Structure 1
Amino acid sequence: MSHSLSQSSHRLISKLATPKLQTEGGGFLVRKVIGTVIPNCDPILMLDHIGPVVYKPGEALGAPDHPHRGFETVTYLIDGGVKHQDSAGNKGILKPGWVQWMTAGKGVVHSEMPTDDIMENGGKSEGFQLWVNLPAKFKMIEPRYQDTPPEKIPIVKTEDNRVTIKVISGECRGVNAVIETKIPITMLDIHLEAGSTFTYTIPTSHNGFCYVWRGAGFLGHNQMPAHMGQVGLLSETGSEFMIRAEDGQDCHALLIAGKPIKEPIVNYGPFVMNTQEEILQAIEDYRAGKLGQIPGEAERLRQTEAAQALHKKNKNNS
């Protein structure tokens, strides 16, 4: 760290929060990192930390057919497997380390279900879903997918080799992500070995937060102690952000920052627009089938209900 930097150039943690661990559906363990204790962080609408959970055979849950319009969804998988498909005919399988950056734009119906392997054999499941808002000019663009395997995600190491950074979006130390974003967004997955430190310069105009998803460390130049499941909101001023792992354990953290859009937000479940009229239009278009549909909807619903029932039965018997 350069000692010539003035105190004002440091990004501090203005708020440290602990999202509540909640159960959704039939057993989705979710921490609403952004979206509850911190309502939003323009342009980030939401960050869910899903899991970690170990499913027994037949218990794994997904998100059957649901629509999106007006924003982007980012799925980053740590463990498990997700089989996705949509009303535009896109389909694929996400495995550990994969990132899917989906620009919903004018709208799609999307399904994210557990892979056959996890349904049959059970297994560990963990990942993140990030919602990135789009400005009015991009809300009705054509949908786009960027499914990116781990080997294509650039990795940066610090000089001492004690910090490893996956550059999911944006840039880090001169290395650019392969994923393209509609607005400037930085998403870094940082793994710090015990006692190591990492500094990163964030544009002063960008909002941001840092979420510790495993281990423990100290966030910002005010060194706020944070453990697994805690999020630090970055101060509005300054540029250089610092994170340090605890001496006794490693720290895994997501650093996410973006240029605020500063437009009105009206959201209704899976639709995020600028006006109430646009939301009503989205609902009308969805009901009229204009966002399309995916063959096999009834089977995915049946699979989800069966998994929920089995999860409940196993829980009652344990």
Structure 2
Amino acid sequence: MENKIKSVFSILDAPQPHMVGDGFRVSNFFPGGYKIKMSPFFLLDYNAKVLLPPTDELRGVGVHPHRGFETVTIAYHGAVAHHDSAGNSGIIYPGDVQWMTAAGGILHKEYHEKEFSAKGGPFQMVQLWVNLPAKDKMSKPKYQAIEHKDLAIAELTDNGGEVEIIAGTYNGVTGPATTFTPLHVYNAKIKAGKSAVFNFPAAYNTGFLVIEGEISINGQENAGASQFIYFKNDGEEISVEAKEDSLILVLSGEPIQEPIAQYGPFLMNNQQEIKQAISDYNEGKFGYLE
């Protein structure tokens, strides 16, 4: 029996961008821009490609807390330096992924890397917030630094390109990131005129962000750069044909069927837990970071 097609619910244009700190000009596709069901993915910020002039000033986001979820930063152009209160630090270069499990609580800051800032150049990034189930929200913070060379690669047939697997599995190839709930995160690089097929359970919430190029989905609808394709929960198979060389961020995951309470950088299950997070932060329980 053939898999039923997972059909397109809507193709969403990038919302009006806003600044996060003084270093990231992002379009928030969800939960702000569009009220779509993408659990376990709670937030998608996209910094579309922008050419930054050289500067000696520090651009970015200062010290801020997180609790109850994971942040996933995917770099396409530019470089970001980061530090957290657990003692982790590093630089995310093009092609790299920073997967930070804030969980029980962490302080974090991120800035454009010094050498990149001094030279200037194209800058393009995605940040995701991945929700955690209640049983894991207060687990110990951890950090996965995934360099581009460590991504798992699945070659497409007919010399059609490749799929870089960050998390989850594609065509039997599994990505390096460990996750708390079943989910898939890929960068699909499809050459002009070539195609790829993706299969996800019908119940999984699924969306594609077109980073570069133009694609046809299921032979029916087209989407271009900076558009988000939001799928229905009605089937399993998605076919994509690239009208030109294209790069797509593929997201699919099993929804977490739990209530959500959000306050700024805290993502919990109820208001009492939010109050506790604010209290713990004010009491210095998230650690210390200058």
**Kept in 1: contact 2:215–2:246 (CA 8 A):** yes
Alpha-carbon separation, structure 1, partners of 2:202 and 2:53: 46
Say whether residues 1:10 and 2:5 are aligned partners.
Answer: yes
**Kept in 2: contact 1:33–1:211 (CA 8 A):** no
| Higher relative strand content | 2
| 2:52 maps to which of 39, 49, 55 | 55
Shift of 1:255: 1.1
2:163 equivalent in structure 1: 165
Alpha-carbon separation, structure 1, partners of 2:33 and 2:196: 26
Q: Which secondary structure state, in structure 2, belongs to the residue aligned with residue 281 of structure 1?
A: helix
Alpha-carbon separation, structure 2, partners of 1:121 and 1:163: 31
Q: 1:139 is aligned with what amino acid?
A: K
1:36 equivalent in structure 2: 32
Q: Give the alignment of 1:121-160 within 5 angstroms.
A: 121-160=119-158
| Higher relative helix content | 1
**Kept in 2: contact 1:21–1:29 (CA 8 A):** no
In the superposition, the TM-score normalised over structure 2's length comes to 0.95
Runs of 4+ in 1 over 6 A off after TM superposition: none
Q: 1:57 is aligned with what amino acid?
A: P
After superposition, the C-alpha distances for 1:53-75 in whole angstroms (9 at most, x for unaligned) are 22112266211111000001001
Q: Give the alignment of 1:192-207 within 5 angstroms.
A: 192-207=190-205
1:262 equivalent in structure 2: 257
Alpha-carbon separation, structure 2, partners of 1:84 and 1:208: 29
Alpha-carbon separation, structure 1, partners of 2:69 and 2:16: 25
Say whether residues 1:245 and 2:242 are aligned partners.
Answer: yes
After superposition, the C-alpha distances for 1:123-148 in whole angstroms (9 at most, x for unaligned) are 22111101110010010000010001
Q: Which secondary structure state, in structure 2, belongs to the residue aligned with residue 160 of structure 1?
A: helix
Shift of 1:284: 1.0
Shift of 1:38: 2.7
After superposition, the C-alpha distances for 1:176-231 in whole angstroms (9 at most, x for unaligned) are 11111111110111111112111011122211111111111112x26221111111
**Kept in 2: contact 1:154–1:178 (CA 8 A):** yes
Q: 2:24 is aligned with what amino acid?
A: F
Alpha-carbon separation, structure 1, partners of 2:178 and 2:248: 22
Say whether residues 1:272 and 2:270 are aligned partners.
Answer: no
| 2:67 maps to which of 61, 66, 69 | 69
In the superposition, the TM-score normalised over structure 1's length comes to 0.86
Give me the identity figure in percent.
36
**Kept in 2: contact 1:28–1:51 (CA 8 A):** no
1:118 equivalent in structure 2: 116
Q: Which secondary structure state, in structure 1, belongs to the residue aligned with residue 144 of structure 2?
A: strand
Unaligned runs of 5+ residues in structure 2 are none
**Kept in 2: contact 1:60–1:118 (CA 8 A):** no
**Kept in 1: contact 2:68–2:266 (CA 8 A):** yes
Alpha-carbon separation, structure 1, partners of 2:242 and 2:181: 30
Shift of 1:16: 1.4
Say whether residues 1:225 and 2:217 are aligned partners.
Answer: no
Shift of 1:27: 6.1
1:310 equivalent in structure 2: none
Query: Radius of gyration: which is bigger?
Result: 1
Alpha-carbon separation, structure 2, partners of 1:185 and 1:240: 16
Larger mean CA deviation between 194-203 and 19-28 belongs to 19-28
